[in-house]
Chains A and B, each alone.
Chain A
Amino acid sequence: MKNEMKIGHREALTLLVTLMSGQVFLSMPRNMALLGDTAGWMIVLLAGIFSLIGYYFLATLLEKYPDQDILQISQFICGKFLGTIIGTVFFLFFLTISSLMLRQFAESFIISILPNTPISVISLFFLFLLIYGTLQGIETLTRVAWFFGPYLLLAFIITIGFSMPYADLELLLPILGKGPLPILKHSALHTSLFSNIILLGIIAPKIREQTKTFRTGLYSLILAIVINTVVTAAVLITFNYTSTSKLVFPIFQLTRLITLGEFIQRVEAIFVFLWFFTAAILMGGMFYGTIISFSHSFGLSNYRPLVFAMAVLIFCISLIPNSMTETVNLDAFIISKYYPLISFGIPLLLWIASRFKKKGDNSNG
């Protein structure tokens, strides 16, 4: 009954865009500034273009096997055993991202608005939403994403628009930053920025119009690339790259700049709302991915009993890193190197395997 509910492609699109753009609230712009100096935005753009290539394989795979998610496809192509291993890899991937995101967002709220609150309180509030949302199913989350999506976008535009008076385009010079080779290298390594697109592999069978799955993913990826690039660039031209690399949450600093005459000042507290919604939607999607990847790779028919257990697991893992900086470094520079291998590498391998499999099938038949 509930499991049969379908989601519209618009809703799925906003969910995916939020998944891939939520990181701009965290230290993503700062990391890019660290990596590429003035060309940080270019790294994002190129990474986006690389991930578009990676996305092609994922999308063709999903198109070839409609009504099946990436886990079922991998079990179908590679057999039960290998498929389960691949599913476990996906599960670990989602688990890591969910935990790290939970930690980072919780820390970001502590730093920005609630300095005296213990991190567990913030995390537990988020987990409550995740549990509640996931028990209701992904279609609810996508509807919420679609409901808030336009306002989130509007908030981005307002933030960037109002910080433009402080901007100076010359801060983007030298245009290539550390040089073309480092840019290419870093952007290839940081396609992880868009690795959350893999959630499309999980929700694809639920999209009402299967023919639009490809477009949904493509548009969401392009929109996410634009948002990420623009935000990184805006941060770089508002602060310079050296100060950006010292700000933990650059976009929070950006919102602090907003003033409208004498009356509206320091509206960053209002932006807490948009920040919160983005964080909750992002983590909701990732949490759903965690649970579905687990339940589908082990052939469970109902994922709901898993929800509480996974929430506890994610809560515990999120508290493992010692500090905020450690979390950020872990997410941005250490673990994230392996994200693209999972979210783009596995679909590529599956795609290749599926071509062979198809030939084999044809010769048999």
Chain B
Amino acid sequence: MRVHTQMAILLLAAIMPGSGAAVAHDATAHHGAPAACDTTALACASVATGAFGPDGKLWVTWIAGGRVSVGSSADLGKTFADQVTLPKTDLPLDEGPDARPKIAIGQAGRVVVTYASRDEKYNGHAFIVRSSDDGKTFSDPQPITSDSPSQRFETAELDQDGRAFVAWIDKRNVAKAKKDGKDYAGAALAFAWDDRPGGTLQAATIARDNSCECCRIGVAFAGPGRPVVLFRNIFDGGIRDHAVITFADPKTPGPLYRVSDDDAKIDACPHQGPSLAIGPDGVYHATWFALGRKLKGLYYAHSNDGGKTFSEPMRLGDPNAQTSRPYVLATHGVVYLAYKSFDGAMTTIDLITSHDSGKTWSTPRSIAMTHDASDHPLLIASPAGAYLSWLTLQDGYRLIPLEPQS
């Protein structure tokens, strides 16, 4: 017990960096964590998700002090204004390794935030909140669905007309199967649309049964009313390989296509979901973590035919440096791909870029590093450029421009 106490003290010391409470500003917009970090401030966040609005304003949603907050910055993350802390959830927030609150910004001051809490059985309960006044006020949180024992990894995107499309991993059919005494592998991919821009979510539809239950999903748009979802599917024989579904129209999920033959026959939770981007040229860019008998590690592939077929998977990073958490962004004629590596002492974010829709790639360039715990690297686009959005324990929230590129 004595050892336990000492360790607890060491642990406390480890999570209390020496930097003061004052917010530090420099070229890459650091926000130092204060000494006792239990408030809802961004400086105390454990995860943070950034997104740009059409006017170039940066929005960030984060978890700190057991609450979800939202703030915006007109100066690329140097200062944040109008922090809104959302109502406390009845249950603790979902802080699983691949879970995070998410934010989407539309026209006319529309902001949508989604997040989930988790009960004692680790079932997720996901909520959506909305603002129609540029984030000054938010609606009361609404569950994203009813009649479902668990929703996790909810992801909201706004379509061109301002309607929210929300996709998530749902366990209603797991519960049904259990009640009927049947086996059911994994969970299901579910989705719902707003009835009108800024309205409410309609009833959920199950797009696909038997998806992996413990990984984030990737969502992008192939065109108006045509979302595309990339997720870890469970194929026949319990193979947990990635698949993509492109909606034919808002109500109709199209056929499922396999992204790669990783041959992941493993009943393990990788806690590492994929990332998807679609460029203005319609090319799909997919990146994922493979835990298969054929492929193991991080991979990238692109599709020129709307997700039917993908290019030969390209290996990323070094398998002995924990290369993980890949994220892809296609914007301004460039495809950006970032991932995290750890060499035993330092975590590095490496970036590669492609100027020919994913056919050829630059050599990796390190764009950020830290010597302590950090969130997943995310890539986000403003109307003017592309950025790394990254939260680290040492430096707080960072927004790092990806230009200049060689």
A is bound by B: no
